[in-house]
Amino acid sequence: MPRTDETNSKTKLYGSSRGVWKRFMGMYLIFYSILMIFTVLLGLGERMINLFFALLLVFPVIVEANCADKLNVLECMKKEHD
């Protein structure tokens, strides 16, 4: 099915492609699990765990907003930090 202007405008709002978004979410989940393991091992306490939860919920929203039109999210993230 060919894409129309309407579907193109929706993809710009919600991210450029599903494959890139799935790959990014996989990396996000790995990063999240590593942080949680370190948090539990170090015993930083409940307040620090809540801070990690808050940061991890906000982080992908910020990246998606900045990189929605880019094909490669990782390259966009590197450019944003340089």
Contacts of 15 (CB under 8 A, 6+ apart): 21, 64, 68
Q: Which two tokens stand for residue 65?
A: 């907003």
- Rg for the chain (alpha carbons), in Å? 16
Mean pLDDT of 49-73: 65
Q: How confident is the model at residue 66 (pLDDT cuts 50, 70, 90)?
A: low
pLDDT of residue 28: 78
pTM of full prediction above 0.85: no
Q: How far is CA 28 from CA 3, 31, 46, 56, 71, in A?
A: 29, 5, 22, 8, 17
pLDDT of residue 27: 78
Q: How far is CA 53 from CA 29, 74, 79, in A?
A: 12, 22, 25
Q: Bigger pLDDT: 70 or 42?
A: 42
Tens-digit pLDDT profile for residues 5-53: 455 555 555 555 666 667 777 777 788 787 777 777 676 666 666 777 7
